[in-house]
Structure 1
Amino acid sequence: MATLLHLDSAVFPQGSASRDVTAAFVAAWREQHPDGQVVYRDLAADPLPHLDATATAAGADDALRGELAAELANADAVLIGAPMYNFSIPSTLKAWLDQVIIVGHNSGPGGPVTGTPFTVVASRGGSYAPGTPRADFEFVQNYLEKVLTGMLGAEVDFIVPELTLAHSKPEMAELIPLAEASRARAFTDASEKAKALAARLAA
C-alpha cells in the first residue's frame, strides 16, 4: 500500500492554481491506489512554527521535527503545491523544509528520503521560463530542486502552471490563450505523472 504525502501552501483555499492541480494529481493517484493512503498537510491553514534554537539543537528528538521527519520518511512519494510569492516559495513551505530537514538524521547520501520521488506544482502569475524577460527571477524551481536533491537526495519533477494572473490583470489580457494552454497542460501532466508514478511504485 503506497503512501503519498501531500502538502499545499497557497494562501487562498479557493481559486488557487497550485491547489487545483495538486487536487487533480491526488484524484489520479487515488484511482490507481484506492486502498492507498494520502497524508495531507495544509501549510497555509495550519502553519508550522519557524525553526528556533531549541528545536535546532534537539534535532529529531524535538517532538514536532521528529513527527515531520517520520511522516516524510514513511512516504513513498511526495506532492507539493508551491506557488510563487515574491519570486520565491511561501514562507510556510520554507518553515516545513527547515523543520523536516535534520542534518545527521535524514539529510545526506543514503538517508531515509534518498530516491523518494517529489512532484512539485510550481504555479506562478507570470512566466519565468528560460528566455523570458524575468527568467533570472525564478527562485522556486531553482531553490526546491537544489534543496530537495542536495539535502535529501530526492528525485524532483515539476509541473508549472504559469500566467495564472492573465484573467485578472488587464495588461495581461493578450496572454489569456497562453495561460489557458498552460493550465490545461498542467492538468494533463498531473494526471499522467500521478498515474505513471503510481504504476512505478506498484511494480
Structure 2
Amino acid sequence: MHLFRLDASIRTTGSVSRALADTAEQAWLAAHPDATVTRRDIGLHPLPSDAWPALARRQFDPAAPESPAATALVQELGDELLGADAYVFAIPLYNWGVPAHVKSWFDLLGLHTGLRTGEESHIAGRPAVLAMSRGGGYGPGAPKEGWDHNSPYLKRILADVYGLDLHVAEAELTLADVNPAMAPLRGLAAESLRAGHEHAAAHGQRLAELIRA
C-alpha cells in the first residue's frame, strides 16, 4: 500500500490544511500501518520557478537551451503520483486563488508524458482526499462569496483532468481566533474545523477501504 501526500501550506505550526491532512493520513495508517507514505512539501520546499518555462519554451523553440534538471524533476513528480495507490492533498487558499507554488506543481505535472495520454488519465479512479483551509468565509451569503478561486480549480484538475475519486475535507474562518474583527465568527469557525476533521477522518478511512477492496 502506498499513499502520496502533498503539503502546500507555508506554515507548519498552526496550519489547518496540514492538520486536516494529518487526520486523513492517520485514518489511512490505522488500516494500513505498514504502508509507504511518500511526502512532497512544496510549502516548505517550493519547486524552482524557472523549471516549467524552461521546458515549455523548448516545445515552441527546439533551439532553446535544454534543462536536464527540470526534465528530471518532471519525471520525479509524475512518478510520485503514478507510484501511489491513494492521495492526500493539503492546500490552503492564499490571496483568493491557487498558491503560486501549487500552480507550478500542476504545470510541471502537465509535462509528464506518463500521467496522461491525450484525454486519458493513468491515475483515474484512484481515491484522494483534498484537505483545504480558508481564513475567511466564502459560502452563500458571505461578503466574499465567489472570491474563492482555489477550490474550483483544484477540483477541476484533480477530479476532471486526472480523474481521481476525490473526497473533500475543508475548514474556513480559520483566522477567526487571531483576528479581533472576526471574533463574532469564532463559534462558526470552531464548527467548521470540527466538521473538517470529521470529514478528513471519514475520507481517510474510505481511502483505506477502497484500496483494501
TM-score (norm 1): 0.91
**Which residue of the other structure, out of 129, 132, 135, is the alignment partner of 1:119?**
129
What do residues 82-134 of structure 1 show as CA deviations (whole Å, max 9, x unaligned)? 11100112212111111112375423433212222221111001111233232
Hey, what does 2:26 align to over in structure 1?
27
Following superposition, the deviation at residue 135 of structure 1 comes to 1.9
2:101 matches 1:92: yes
Percent of pairs with identical residues: 32
What do residues 43-90 of structure 1 show as CA deviations (whole Å, max 9, x unaligned)? 12211112434323489x911101111111111111111111001122
Residues in 2 aligned to 1:169 and 1:146: alpha-carbon distance in whole angstroms:
31
Following superposition, the deviation at residue 155 of structure 1 comes to 2.6
2:66 matches 1:67: no
- Whether the 8 Å contact between 2:128 and 2:207 is mirrored in structure 1 is no
Residues in 1 aligned to 2:138 and 2:47: alpha-carbon distance in whole angstroms:
29
**Which residue of the other structure, out of 171, 184, 207, is the alignment partner of 1:197?**
207
- Whether the 8 Å contact between 2:24 and 2:200 is mirrored in structure 1 is yes
Map 1:50-199 → 2, pairs under 5 A: 50=49, 51-56=51-56, 57=58, 62-102=71-111, 105-107=114-116, 108-199=118-209
- Whether the 8 Å contact between 1:122 and 1:140 is mirrored in structure 2 is no
Residues in 2 aligned to 1:118 and 1:159: alpha-carbon distance in whole angstroms:
11
- Whether the 8 Å contact between 2:6 and 2:41 is mirrored in structure 1 is yes
- Whether the 8 Å contact between 2:21 and 2:90 is mirrored in structure 1 is yes
* More divergent stretch after superposition (129-138 vs 26-35): 129-138
Following superposition, the deviation at residue 10 of structure 1 comes to 0.7
Hey, what does 2:43 align to over in structure 1?
44
Residues in 1 aligned to 2:55 and 2:158: alpha-carbon distance in whole angstroms:
21
- Whether the 8 Å contact between 1:109 and 1:152 is mirrored in structure 2 is no
- Matching residue's letter, 1:98: D
* Structure label with greater radius of gyration: 2
1:131–1:117: structure 2 CA closer, same or farther, 3 Å change rule? farther
Unaligned runs of 5+ in 1: none
3-state DSSP of counterpart to 1:41: strand
- Whether the 8 Å contact between 2:20 and 2:197 is mirrored in structure 1 is yes
1:149–1:28: structure 2 CA closer, same or farther, 3 Å change rule? closer
1:33–1:103: structure 2 CA closer, same or farther, 3 Å change rule? closer
Residues in 1 aligned to 2:156 and 2:91: alpha-carbon distance in whole angstroms:
15
Residues in 2 aligned to 1:29 and 1:19: alpha-carbon distance in whole angstroms:
15
Select the structure that is richer in strand. Answer: 2
